[in-house]
């Protein structure tokens, strides 16, 4: 079993393809956070794997394999996933291979091995007995899910703000990273990333309006009025950003109009960033805690979470990886726990493929 971790952020080599936020910059093997703190011990774990190939054998639909991959990401260890339905002599248990060392068995066994092999930062693995003795989590399931969604969306908005600021600083010049492509190709990638974020934002708002807010309104009429108004307020800004990106995509990257359009886009994105950050903060602090006062039992909590995930079916069917990308590995595992608890094996398996692929 896994306790909440004290995670650090790791920079991805790709702009949109990894499952960890990029708020840590890896520089010459040293991990430096945005606050300037240097995690030398974490860097040591990365350096120790340079001479060893790390492979994970398992089914792309295996929940334990997904957990192990997140654990290695938490340690800053790059792993090569090798699809195999029965990697351990006919067993479907995942197999982890680091150099000449091989380990398999229960999820707890593999996670303890990872913690021993790469001590920093610790996973905080606990036995089932230890977990049972701990105080029961009282935060409603849907509140936990919404808080994690808020974190992911906040990170994605901030990332787009930094991306457009960088474009404006370059003044229409291409990125130094050849994988980004020409300015026009980069704008297409920016447009795709924003479209994905927009879909998540809209489905998240619909989820709250259709499922969460009605529950709170039954207990206290008018309590969600401000939140509903803020959802409507941000729609023009979000649509304006979409149209702005589309217009820039067909402009000459060296023209004054291009630079002015980027400046306007940056202003709109910063407005969205400020509004969404404030909105999420107010919901997390002032609104969602009332869900606990509604006093739903465990079965009712699960039913509410299931209804919420049903509304966000589009996001989870093809943007699950995008949603997890804005979370730390430990947070991604927490969200995965919530998702798995409300879906059948077939739905869970198809979603896990999005993570592994």
CATH code, 78: 3.40.30.10
Q: What is the mean pLDDT of residues 285-302?
A: 90
Q: In which residue are the tokens 């021993």 written?
A: 116
Q: Is the pLDDT of residue 43 over 90?
A: no
Q: Is residue 28 part of a domain?
A: no
Q: Is residue 2 part of a domain?
A: no
Q: How far is CA 324 from CA 125, 182, 244, in A?
A: 21, 28, 27
Q: Do 99 and 161 share a structural domain? A: no
Q: Is residue 20 part of a domain?
A: no
Residue 69 burial (10 A CB sphere; 0-12, 13-18, 19+): buried
Q: How far apart are CA 81 and CA 78, in angstroms?
A: 10
CATH of the domain at 183: 1.20.120.520
Q: Is residue 266 part of a domain?
A: yes
Q: Do 166 and 109 share a structural domain? A: no
- Give residue 11's pLDDT: 37
Q: Do 180 and 118 share a structural domain? A: no
Q: Do 112 and 64 share a structural domain? A: yes
Q: Is the pLDDT of residue 142 over 60?
A: yes
Q: Is residue 238 part of a domain?
A: yes
Residue 257 burial (10 A CB sphere; 0-12, 13-18, 19+): exposed
Share above pLDDT 70 across residues of the chain, in percent, rounded to a whole number: 80
Using 50, 70 and 90 to split pLDDT, how confident is the model at 331?
confident
Compute the mean pLDDT over every residue in the chain, rounded to the nearest whole number: 79
Question: What's the token pair of residue 153?
Answer: 């969306």
Q: Do 171 and 188 share a structural domain? A: yes
- Give residue 23's pLDDT: 39
- Give residue 357's pLDDT: 54
Q: What is the mean pLDDT of residues 36-45?
A: 37
Pairing of strands 30-33, 24-27: antiparallel
Q: Name 39's bridge partners.
A: 31
Q: What is the mean pLDDT of residues 275-294?
A: 92
Using 50, 70 and 90 to split pLDDT, how confident is the model at 90?
low
Using 50, 70 and 90 to split pLDDT, how confident is the model at 356?
low
Q: Do 150 and 283 share a structural domain? A: yes
Please give the residue range of the domain that contains residue 117.
54-125
Sequence-distant (6+) residues with CB within 8 A of 61 are 348, 349, 350, 352, 353
CB 110 within 8 A of CB 63: no
User: Residue 121, preceding bond cis, omega within 30 degrees?
Assistant: yes
Q: Is the pLDDT of residue 350 over 70?
A: yes
- Give residue 99's pLDDT: 87
Q: Is the pLDDT of residue 22 over 50?
A: no
Residue 98 burial (10 A CB sphere; 0-12, 13-18, 19+): buried
Q: Do 282 and 173 share a structural domain? A: yes
Sequence-distant (6+) residues with CB within 8 A of 314 are 199, 203
What tens digit of pLDDT does each residue of 213-230 get? Answer: 999 998 888 999 999 899
Q: Is residue 18 part of a domain?
A: no
Q: Is the pLDDT of residue 192 over 90?
A: yes
Using 50, 70 and 90 to split pLDDT, how confident is the model at 207?
very high
- Give residue 31's pLDDT: 34
Q: How far apart are CA 262 and CA 167, in angstroms?
A: 8
Q: Is residue 197 part of a domain?
A: yes
**Domain termination site, one of 125, 158, 174:** 125
Q: Is residue 354 part of a domain?
A: no
- Give residue 9's pLDDT: 34
**Domain termination site, one of 95, 125, 155:** 125
Q: How far apart are CA 279 and CA 283, in angstroms?
A: 6
pTM of the entire structure? 0.75
Q: Is the pLDDT of residue 198 over 50?
A: yes
Q: Do 225 and 120 share a structural domain? A: no
Q: Do 299 and 254 share a structural domain? A: yes
Q: How many domains does the chain have?
A: 2
Helix (H, G, I), strand (E, B) or coil at 104: strand
Q: Do 165 and 90 share a structural domain? A: no
Residue from 273, 249, 276 nearest 262 by CA: 249
Tell me the Ramachandran region of residue 82: left when phi exceeds 0, alpha when psi lies from -120 to 50, beta otherwise. beta
- Dihedral sign for Cα 282, 301, 151, 175, please: negative
**Domain termination site, one of 125, 147, 174:** 125
Q: Do 140 and 71 share a structural domain? A: no
Q: Do 230 and 144 share a structural domain? A: yes
- Give residue 330's pLDDT: 77
Sequence-distant (6+) residues with CB within 8 A of 57 are 82, 84, 87, 88, 94, 95, 96, 97
As a residue count, the chain comes to 357
């Amino acid at each position: 079993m896994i306790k909440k971790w004290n995670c650090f952020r790791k920079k991805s080599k790709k702009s949109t393809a990894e499952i960890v936020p990029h708020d840590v910059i890896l520089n010459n093997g040293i991990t430096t956070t945005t606050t300037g703190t240097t995690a030398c011990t974490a860097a040591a774990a990365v350096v120790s794997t340079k001479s060893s190939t790390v492979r994970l054998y398992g089914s792309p639909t295996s929940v334990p394999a997904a957990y192990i991959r997140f654990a290695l990401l938490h340690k800053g260890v790059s792993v090569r996933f090798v699809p195999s339905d029965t990697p351990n002599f006919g067993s479907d248990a995942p197999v982890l291979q680091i150099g000449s060392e091989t380990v398999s068995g229960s999820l707890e066994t593999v996670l303890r091995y990872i913690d021993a092999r790469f001590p920093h930062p610790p996973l905080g693995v606990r036995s089932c007995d230890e977990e049972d003795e701990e105080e029961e989590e009282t935060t409603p399931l849907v509140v936990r899910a919404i808080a994690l969604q808020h974190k992911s969306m906040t990170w994605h908005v901030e990332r787009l703000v930094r991306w457009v600021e960088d474009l404006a600083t370059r003044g229409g010049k291409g990125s130094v990273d050849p994988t980004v492509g020409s300015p026009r190709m980069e704008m297409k990638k920016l447009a795709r990333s924003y479209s994905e974020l927009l879909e998540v934002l809209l489905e998240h708002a619909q989820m709250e309006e259709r499922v969460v807010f009605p529950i709170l309104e039954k207990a206290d009429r008018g309590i969600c009025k401000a939140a509903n108004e803020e959802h409507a307020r941000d729609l023009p800004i979000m649509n304006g950003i979409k149209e702005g990106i589309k217009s820039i995509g067909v402009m000459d990257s060296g023209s004054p109009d291009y630079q002015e359009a980027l400046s306007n886009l940056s202003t709109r994105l910063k407005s969205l960033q400020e509004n969404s950050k404030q909105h999420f903060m107010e919901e997390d602090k002032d609104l969602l805690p009332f869900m606990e006062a509604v006093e739903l039992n465990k079965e009712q909590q699960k039913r509410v979470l299931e209804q919420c995930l049903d509304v966000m079916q589009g996001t989870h069917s093809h943007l699950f990886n995008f949603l997890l990308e804005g979370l730390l590995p430990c947070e991604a595992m927490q969200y995965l726990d919530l998702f798995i608890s409300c879906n059948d094996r077939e739905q869970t398996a198809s979603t896990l493929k999005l993570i592994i692929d």
